[in-house]
Amino acid sequence: MTEQAKGLEGIVIADTHLSRVQGDVGRLTYCGYDIADLAENASFEEVVFLLWNNALPTKVQLERFRHTLVENMSVPASVLQAMNAFPLNAHPMAVVRTAVSALGLHDSAAEDNSKDANYRKAMHLTAKLPTIVAAWARIRTGREPVAPRDDLGLAANFVYMLKGEEPNQTEVDAINVYLVLLADHGMNASTFTSRVVTSTDGDLYSAVTAAIGSLKGPKHGGANEAAMRMFREVSGAASIEQWFQDEVKGKGRRIMGIGHRVYKAPDPRATILKRHAIALCNEVEKCGMINIAQELEDLALKDDFFIERKLFPNVDYYSAIVLDAVGIETDMMTPLFAMSRIAGWTAHIIEQWADNRLIRPRGNYVGPDKLKWVPVEQRKDS
């Protein structure tokens, strides 16, 4: 195996109509629409419709789509009861993974992999995930879950269910932009996972549950949590520049949220989120990390190590600031990533089914060969 092929880097595993990542120029598109244009103008519901249908909805289609999503936001009482029995210190992503799997038990058509059935299941999961995430944020702090309202969209409903009060429009707009920006991103690890499970003729609940497990890892979805923990660490240092010199230059530590496997130009999502983070932090009190993030970014972008390797802030860097400003606890940040990426996962699952073939790569064996059998009595401790 060549060095280039490690981690399947550079290997094309499928054709897709959904998103295109052009890392060399820092461009991301969904079904042909530039992410900056969508972030500026689209609701998350419009983006979900776009990914599932490869076209933006008309006004009538959008209203009908929104209505159907809101109708499906309620979570079965038995699933909420099960969540109430979970350990309060359980990782939120483990809770989300388990709750999604449990939803499959309540669906009599879970094994139906027809296009219509998968579209319906995608609708159910996309609608219910904000309810699950908000419910766990409250359950683990001893508060009762709040039921969704039929007059609010997904972003506004999430903020309402999280806080139990009329949602602040600035916070709703920030969550909506976040959901739009994270909805899909090529063949990332969790999306690839969802397609692998689907390729085995696995059901949609299984594919999404597996994708959540993949997203949980700190090298994927968990990076926003790591970035926020780093900002807090930096806030306790004598100075940001001193921390940079001691930890990054001296000890070779990574700056969490800077650098990306694909982007060798500024990540367009980070650029947009930075703008929203600054605007949001001008309006809310809980936003002490924005200055740290900006100064640390400035130090990195002036350093030869980062310049030579083309390392820029990625989506996790400023998304952590945005979510923290809204009041999302650090370990609840990755569940919001899942709340957005469910749109892309389900779109890829539907797309995989349209021309399904078992994904079965090969491994390059590098172990010993032609060993001789040794009876157990003659084996020696190594």
Residues with active-site annotation: 260, 316
**What gap in Å lies between CA 120 and CA 273, rounded to an integer?**
31
Nearest alpha carbon to residue 121 among 337, 333, 353: 353
Residue 20 β-bridge partners: 29
Q: Which two tokens stand for residue 297?
A: 């970014």
Specify the pairing of strand 33-34 against strand 27-30: antiparallel
**What gap in Å lies between CA 229 and CA 320, rounded to an integer?**
9
**Type of residue at 237:** A
169's enclosing H/E stretch is: helix 169-182
Instruction: Burial-class residue 171 by CB neighbours within 10 Å (0-12, 13-18, 19+).
Output: buried
Residue 373 DSSP label: P
Rg (CA), the chain: 22
Phi, psi at 366, each rounded to 5°: -125, 15
Q: Which two tokens stand for residue 355?
A: 């021309």
Torsion of CA 236, 303, 308, 235, to 10 degrees: 10
104's enclosing H/E stretch is: helix 92-105
**What is the phi-psi region of residue 13: left when phi exceeds 0, alpha when psi lies from -120 to 50, beta otherwise?**
alpha
Phi, psi at 283, each rounded to 5°: -115, -15
**What gap in Å lies between CA 202 and CA 112, rounded to an integer?**
10
Nearest alpha carbon to residue 253 among 271, 230, 235, 274: 230
Three-state DSSP string of 3-45:
HHHHHHCCCCCCCCCCEEEECCCCEEEECCEEHHHHHHHCCHH
Contact criterion met (CB below 8 Å) for 26 and 267 = yes
